[in-house]
Amino acid sequence: MAKLSLATVGALLSMPLLPPLAAQIPPPQVLLRNRSATARLYLPDPQRGYYRATRFDWSGQVFSLRTLRHEYFGQWFDHYDPLLHDSIMGPVEEFRTGGAALGYAEAPAGGEFVRIGVGILRKPDDAPFQTFKTYEIVDPGQWRIRRARAWVEFTHTIRPSNGYAYEYRKKVRLVRQKPQMEIEHTLVNTGSKTIETDQYNHNFFVIDGLPTGPGVRVIFPFELETVRKFQADFVKNQGKQIEFAADVPEGASAIGEFRGFSSSSADYDIRVEHGPAGAGVRIRGSLPLVRLVFWCTRRTFCPEPYVRLSVPPGRRVSWRLTYDFFDLPQR
């Protein structure tokens, strides 16, 4: 056996260690495409998923949607941690019951509660529910995934926990020959207790990687009535729209809450315009609004429309979101 010289040994010792194999394997994902758009989604996975925290539904994480000219989503946060509540991108969704999670209020310390689209979690103590906390997952349930060229369907089921159980289906689809995406949901109550929950989409828009500032506006079909006023001078609401008077400073954020919508689903019709990018989105929902929040930072802006679901045992409810992506007229 040939002997290695001291120089060779030193060179070998100075080489950087390769990371573990698992660190080199990307999170599971899927690509959807039609003639007008492509969408990339991360897939739910309790061990390798990009997002494994307990705030947002694990299915339908559209981290990129590209039309012929524009990108609509992307990373908006600085620090990534799969167990961090907001290390997630795209039109992601959350379910809330009474401002908390399903079954949290009635569960004893050490007992179980449910986050739809996540699984069965542990209530550690008698403290109030914390939206941003990542709770222990007792049972992530079962995920089934079907896919084709232009769509992917997720089905999530959990065992009964304190009377709650469900089958939750979500299908993300690029509509044929259109720059349009549909998100179809069905929630089937397979437990013994009624499921009462609000559900909303956070809509983390990152359009062409450009910052949030003048020329960005969000338009609604109703006059906005302020519930929670913006505590910032760079964003304002007036009439039927929210717009930016100045660039959002690095590290700053603003949140507001509004009413003015009716009980008709026709009011779930939101138009997003990014003037500097020349890109827009129209979002329509099949259920009426029950709450409307708007949140922004320099890197993302987010209309957050809420709907309400009430599903007795043995029943189901279905709802749909439609996203139309378009170019703004050139000036």
How far is 83 from 98, CA to CA, in rounded Å? 24
pTM as predicted: 0.92
Tokens of 50: 């990009």
Domain covering 29-327 in this structure, CATH number: 2.70.98.10
Spatial strand order in the sheet of 119-122 = 112-115, 119-122, 137-139
CB 288, CB 263: distance < 8 Å:
yes
CA 320 to the chain's CA centroid: 15
pLDDT along the chain (331 residues), means of 10: 41 40 77 98 98 98 97 97 98 97 97 98 97 98 98 98 98 97 98 98 98 98 98 98 97 98 98 98 98 98 98 98 96 68
pLDDT digits (tens, 9 = 90+) for 69-81: 999 999 999 999 9
Q: Which amino acid is at 128?
A: P
Angle value at C-alpha 98, between 187 and 185, nearest 5 degrees: 20
- The ranges assigned to domains in the chain are 29-327
Cβ-contact 310, 185 below 8 angstroms: no
- Quote the CA–CA distance of 191 and 182 in Å, as a whole number: 28
- pLDDT tens across 223-279, in order? 999 999 999 999 999 999 999 999 999 999 999 999 999 999 999 999 999 999 999
